[in-house]
Structure 1
Amino acid sequence: MPPAPHSGLSLPAQVANELREAIIAGRLLPGTALAEVELAAAYSTSRNTLREALHQLSREGLASYVRNKGVEVRRLGVAEVRDLFKVRRTLELQALRSGAPLREEQAARMADAMDAAELAQGREDWRAFGTHSLRFHQCIVSLLASPLFDQFFANIAAQLRLAFAMAPDEERFQRPWVQRDRHLHALLGAEQPHEAAYAMANYLDDSERLLLELLSTRPSP
């Protein structure tokens, strides 16, 4: 199917957006081949357009060119995961400390993400659970009211989704977070930004520690 239209974006950028969203949704996993012919047909576009979109994903750290194999969804290492959490601490903690009031539509989007995560948890669909949890954290960054930060964090969310997918026991990694997301949401709703930032700092420390622990047990590809 052709990419959904995005006002002001070139066709390669639109295709790149669709592929990035597929990564965030967990439909494209680390190591998945990104074959030009099949993807050009799937998105009803030319191979040149698709190639430009793949170049963009490569620049964003979401795709890699592998010798004698072509392009594939990127596999992240420990150093990249640590760097992603540095970015999360910078943006998410700043968003909470800003004290920006939680607008009704932001609160609704957060609640929708948490409800969807709990439904995925009930189905034991931990891949979907991780995607909805990331949607919740994208809402937190949106408190900064910066379209540029929102766009940047969409790329960070996609890379985090790849890191989550590489954990050999994704259930063990994902299970703790929905109640802690609920707690953050409650603190924001109660207009307690400093308490929310403190809870988020602990959250991110625990999340990074557990993810790195699980990645250390992953067999070599």
Structure 2
Amino acid sequence: MASEEAGRLSVSDRISHQLRENIISGKLPPGTGLIEMDLAAEYSTSRNTLREVLHQLGREGLVTFVRHKGVVVRTLERKDVRDLYVARRTLELQALATGELQQPALLDKMLAAIRAAERALLKENWQAVGTQSLRFHQHIVSLLKSSLLDEFFRTISAQLRLVFASDPDEKRIQTPDWIQREYHICELVMNNRRSEALTAMTRYLDDSERMLLEAMSRVNRSFR
């Protein structure tokens, strides 16, 4: 988020944004407890403000309120994945179908995210690979030039990060193939090849959804 945009947000919105970003980056994995008093001290704000923030994140499906445990970062289920991909297809395919493709600053951000994912891959930092992939897809949605949809997709990205974390070995889902496919989509966008970009993204999302559902099934079987 640009600093000038952040400056226009309320205190609670700024904290919500930061906590959401911490989920996207993997700093707050599923099951992490969010303690009002500690967060109020960290962000130098009142517990009432933090309570408002946590209820907002609850409405976004990012945290849950557990009896006798308080507020924890949510663990997502298979049905949540299907809902997320309905939203992803709606936003990302619409962005490629109707968005303004030739936005140099945005295209630079797409490339930067992919290159950052490549650097993370070389270091075998699988969590960072996934985070940069989410950044790339955030920039795809930004082709629509809608701050409202941008903010909505940040919530989708945060929920996707929680899905990624459902597999203890994220290496199994953050493979080099996804980076190459993102490069290909980015190249199609840069060359204004809208129809081909749509086809490539459709296949990407179909394969991604299937892979995540298989990963969740694998993890569920391991606990039986």
TM-score bin, normalised by smaller chain: over 0.9
Match of 1:83 in 2: 83
- In structure 2, what is the Cα distance between the partners aligned to 1:136 and 1:72? 27
Measured in 2, the distance between the counterparts of 1:156 and 1:195 equals 25
Query: What is aligned with 2:122?
Result: 122
* CA apart distance, 1:101: 2.6
**What is the distance in 2 between the residues matched to 1:12 and 1:101?**
34
- Give matches, 1:1-221, under 5 Å: 6-98=6-98, 100-175=100-175, 176-219=177-220, 220=223
Matched letter for residue 109 of structure 1: K
What is the TM-score with the length of structure 1 in the denominator?
0.94
Gaps of 5+ in 2: none
- Are 2:30 and 2:165, in contact at CA under 8 Å, matched by a contact in 1? yes
Residue identity over aligned pairs, in percent, reads 54
TM-score by length of 2: 0.93
Corresponding pairs, count: 218
Q: 1:174 aligns to what SS in structure 2? A: coil
Q: Which moved more, 1:194-203 or 1:96-105?
A: 96-105
Deviation at 1:10, TM superposition (A): 2.0
Contact between 1:99 and 1:193, CA under 8 Å: does it hold in 2? no
CA contact (8 A) 1:169 1:214 kept: no
Q: What amino acid is aligned across from residue 87 of structure 1 in structure 2?
A: A
Distance 1:101 1:49 in 2: 39
Shift of residue 49 of structure 1?
A: 1.2
Q: How far apart are the structure 1 equivalents of 2:167 and 2:102?
A: 33
1:102 Cα offset (Å): 2.4
Whole-angstrom CA distance in 1 between matches of 2:204 and 2:169: 19
- The answer on whether the counterparts of 1:131 and 1:161 sit within 8 Å (CA) in structure 2 is yes
TM-fit CA distance, 1:5: 8.3
Contact 2:99–2:144 (CA<8 Å) still a contact in 1?
no
Query: How much is the aligned-residue C-alpha RMSD, in angstroms?
Result: 1.6
How far off is 1:70 after superposition? 0.3
2-side partners of 1:195 and 1:141: how far apart?
17
